[in-house]
Structure 1
């Protein structure tokens, strides 16, 4: 490796010195292998080589990983001018992710770029400094982009084609790893949000911390540095948070020692009557008093926020978050979400982010964060690097998560049934609760009886309230709608089990609606029209085709009937989104609860006091009462009159800091 670095370092020096080193440049070559990861689990490799000749600089890359049993291959050839590294042509064919086909061919003629993408042809006119690359993969193309950027005097901003996105590169912290110094950078605009990468002194890319085309964590590490993956992930969080603070600075009023929110109608989520013309006094990030103006003294040194005509409710909880990027922080706050429970993330990412968001002095931009440490088992559909196939492995991970600050453990789908009880026992012994999926081969009742305190997603309850018709062969007939059985022995058995164990459910129905829709998604969720351009195509799930619409709608009605029955039975339900439409889907979740029979107050409580209670935090959060965190959502209209009004966010107050949602949305590329 050191030899390759030396050779390529000489080649770059020759290019900078132009023709004086032509002979050496013709013989110079570099190559390498990146280990590819998803959720910090190694799932494949990319090998590449660069051949430098007198006029052409040619990159060839072979990219392949396997994600949940499905191969994701990508073959790329990039040709640039040796003298300037200016792109001449680019071909990428294969996949960028399981569901993202890539078939790109670009050819440059002066400042005109002929683009063929998935059979469609176009000509783009390049302006200003520009380069060619298409998202996060292949990784070697990011290396070439960094080399081009350095050679061209490091422009503050440049355009990448074919997306025509504006890209910014900023220096970040330098790392020293086993005597090797690598230089950090944050890159904005290439994907949605910021990514982090590190280059060595020979201008070889050492590591990339990014997200893939499915918006899941993705990392690539040059083979000799593989053992430092955790260090790169942690450093990436810190670098991206620092960049985010700059981008969103105009949105935040730092918390004063005393903040008085004056004039709003106070709806504290406890069910107490609304208080008109209220005062909410926040001192050092905590609620010091809340009540009628005439009963709350406003200190002379308090900063006053006039909220006349607004409605004050507790800041919302999203109880099914996957904090894939730091950019989710502004989104949550802009949507009125001041607390989240992350239920499945990379260990080093979520540990580092939790520590950053938990700081009391000038915290990073984001909500209060609690997290459930995810544990999966070995299998073709396993996700992430945290696997437990024995009780000993389960104990190790429960203890690591506890030490890192996790309040819960999340069981994922490939955990072996015999390991579930070991995980729950170890977690309970350490004061933790257990949530998650019902693993393959188990039923919801079995999971509960083995110690699971909470269940994610409504899909695990639906089978108890419905049945599938059989075809003539006695097999399930998938062409027919499920048959509702709302008051049968199976539903009664589930409800009695849930009640006996005080099990909490987060159904994530808005997520299911996003891919069970029978009309354009933006008619169901108007927030889709506001998301960043890089996200729109991936998130916009088309409606079911006409011949499937009736069946899709019938299945949706079964899902909603299940939710309605669980709520009517008094089962605790908390609001969460998973990864639907960022920020907006929590509001849609509450709207769907009301459609299922919740009152607006009950729907709000699912995202406030019930959410806090599910985590044992009802003394700290979930209502606007003395002694709780100063998390307040100020709305332009009354949510108890119409639950859709939770979308009408005027200001978000998180631990006493006041945020204006419009610049928060803009800081991450969303339209307010």
Structure 2
């Protein structure tokens, strides 16, 4: 009898081992943004006969704004089949969430984003609603492992197709954690690790604002940096497999033959040849003047137009998926201006490998430094001169050529940062911190400024109400000839300050027509990105204010360009890949010639980083970065969008499969 009871217990445990693991504990995760602890999630699981209920309390504070999410999930004990799910609260600072799923037989009823529908459940499916709550990702992994690791399954309520791939084992304090790459749950990939008992140990993902997000079970919190670095390598390896068909078979020598060569610093060459050897340009000239080695691979570019590979001077390489996007858009170099230290250092090293590098553009980066305050982001904080010098030194050792100032740095710390950076041969870019002006930042040693908003503060004057405060319901008045604007321009000129306006980003906040009318790239976005980035245009008084703001952006750009202030092209994410082209189009609208606009994304960008001897033009001795276009960009700047092939350090890429591998329509 005792033996029979023992067999019964063993049978029960073997058939319901997941139940035993679920009912054993509750759990708690430390939530991070840019590796900075910003909140926590606690969850508990209760059982009742043949079902169990998970309740999660998720809360973080992002730059002064609370982001709470309450979730309840009910499923069958033995098979983990979902019965109901609800998530109410916020996925980010700007968005509300009130999603639910109920199940009756094989019918799934979904309420999401204010819309309800009922459908027959797919053959293989589970319930998990994006990156949060973390406890639901743990449930998803347990369900996936229990059900034979299906190759793909549907995640309700979003109806996304999710794929999970093993990604190796990471030892933490002598204990094995099992890594997995998850795609489809968010845009792109995320990484997570499970222990031997099927408990989720850590998650490296992005949040609903597409910023770095990490969650780590409390006992593993001190190992966050190891998880971040491991995630970069695993995600890059998986992405490289997916992108294999986009790259032409490599060759030591490549001859690009027949294109019209339109360099950033030289007259056009008809029927030209660009010879690249070991990733470096060896010769450029007319076809009858360049000898093509017999062992060179020939890329026939007859009828195409060749310009230097483009730079994006305001990148935030939040995910490895940006690599294929940049290359597909013709961007062969990016300057990242603010990222997690471990993430960007690992990514920089992986992209910079001479043998078998990861897929992506050449990466330069500016190490971000912030100060303590309500708007603080990340963990690279300097509140004393000593801390400032320590961070500058650490970034310099990691390969950064620049430092980026963020919004909460105090004036005396700005001075300490610029002094130390200049002593090490680095330059300083960034935001103008709260309470300071652009002129003050320049006088404290800043060499460059991100975003046109800091110049708009000089070129526009707000309308004040009776209470003496700016009336946000009325458009500001443009004052390009005012004393303040003249003072700014003369200061910029005297200090040779470089501006990175990110005008396309600000235009996206300021248009009064559907976004696709000015940025057709939005129609190519995967659903998760389009939902987040494509908002209806303003109407009524808000439309008038937005229209005035857009006109001020163009007028300010024009004034700065006419004053010969150096301007370089960057996006700050916006519409991934496409917004760099929109940036150049706005420059032409503001009075740049197409050649000058292209220079802002090639030779001027390289000069701003101090690598004009390595990049920025099609000259012998420079990196073999070439953008081949189907139409002439000097005739119409919109033609930079018509990418035929991207050549990065001599490697040739077809843009269509690159777009497709990250969920874009080519």
TM (norm. structure 2) is 0.97
**How far apart are the structure 2 equivalents of 1:670 and 1:623?**
29
**How far apart are the structure 2 equivalents of 1:15 and 1:517?**
62
**How far apart are the structure 1 equivalents of 2:590 and 2:21?**
70
**How far apart are the structure 2 equivalents of 1:665 and 1:199?**
31
- Cα drift, residue 118 of structure 1: 4.4
Aligned residue among 499, 502, 505 for 1:505 = 499
Encode CA deviations 1:588-618: one digit per residue, 9 max, x unaligned.
Answer: 0000000000000000000000000000110
8 Å Cα contact 2:111-2:157 kept in structure 1: no
When residues 26 and 235 of structure 1 are mapped into structure 2, their CA distance, relative to the original with a 3 A threshold, is closer
1:407 aligns with 2:401: yes
Q: Which runs of 5+ in 1 are unaligned?
A: 1-11
- Cα drift, residue 470 of structure 1: 2.9
When residues 256 and 210 of structure 1 are mapped into structure 2, their CA distance, relative to the original with a 3 A threshold, is same
Aligned runs of 1:475-494 on 2, under 5 Å? 475-494=469-488
- Cα drift, residue 254 of structure 1: 4.0
1:345 is matched with 339
1:143 aligns with 2:135: no
Encode CA deviations 1:138-173: one digit per residue, 9 max, x unaligned.
Answer: 000000000000100111111111111111111112
Aligned runs of 1:473-552 on 2, under 5 Å? 473-552=467-546
| Most deviating of 605-614 and 537-546 | 537-546
**How far apart are the structure 2 equivalents of 1:363 and 1:27?**
41
**How far apart are the structure 1 equivalents of 2:46 and 2:56?**
12
1:246 aligns with 2:241: yes
Aligned length: 659
Aligned residue among 298, 310, 332 for 1:316 = 310
- Cα drift, residue 536 of structure 1: 0.4
2:89 is matched with 94
Aligned residue among 113, 133, 155 for 2:108 = 113
2:420 is matched with 426
Aligned residue among 383, 387, 393 for 1:389 = 383
Encode CA deviations 1:223-262: one digit per residue, 9 max, x unaligned.
Answer: 0000000000000000000010011110012431000000
Q: Which secondary structure state, in structure 1, belongs to the residue aligned with residue 528 of structure 2?
A: helix
When residues 112 and 13 of structure 1 are mapped into structure 2, their CA distance, relative to the original with a 3 A threshold, is farther
Q: Which secondary structure state, in structure 2, belongs to the residue aligned with residue 318 of structure 1?
A: strand
Aligned runs of 1:65-214 on 2, under 5 Å? 65-214=60-209
**How far apart are the structure 2 equivalents of 1:350 and 1:280?**
32
8 Å Cα contact 2:21-2:197 kept in structure 1: no
2:4 is matched with none
| Most deviating of 328-337 and 534-543 | 534-543
Aligned residue among 373, 379, 388 for 1:379 = 373
**How far apart are the structure 2 equivalents of 1:625 and 1:14?**
73
**How far apart are the structure 1 equivalents of 2:362 and 2:476?**
40
Q: Which secondary structure state, in structure 1, belongs to the residue aligned with residue 517 of structure 2?
A: helix
Encode CA deviations 1:546-573: one digit per residue, 9 max, x unaligned.
Answer: 2322222112211211110000000000
Aligned residue among 298, 304, 307 for 2:292 = 298
| Most deviating of 288-297 and 379-388 | 379-388
Root mean square deviation of aligned Cα:
1.7
Aligned residue among 27, 33, 39 for 2:34 = 39
**How far apart are the structure 2 equivalents of 1:254 and 1:234?**
29
**How far apart are the structure 2 equivalents of 1:14 and 1:354?**
51
Aligned residue among 335, 354, 360 for 1:366 = 360
When residues 16 and 191 of structure 1 are mapped into structure 2, their CA distance, relative to the original with a 3 A threshold, is farther
**How far apart are the structure 2 equivalents of 1:317 and 1:29?**
53
When residues 600 and 14 of structure 1 are mapped into structure 2, their CA distance, relative to the original with a 3 A threshold, is farther
- Cα drift, residue 28 of structure 1: 3.6
- Cα drift, residue 105 of structure 1: 1.7
**How far apart are the structure 1 equivalents of 2:409 and 2:544?**
35
TM (norm. structure 1) is 0.96
| Most deviating of 533-542 and 223-232 | 533-542
1:261 aligns with 2:256: yes
Q: Which runs of 5+ in 2 are unaligned?
A: 1-8
Aligned residue among 614, 626, 637 for 2:620 = 626
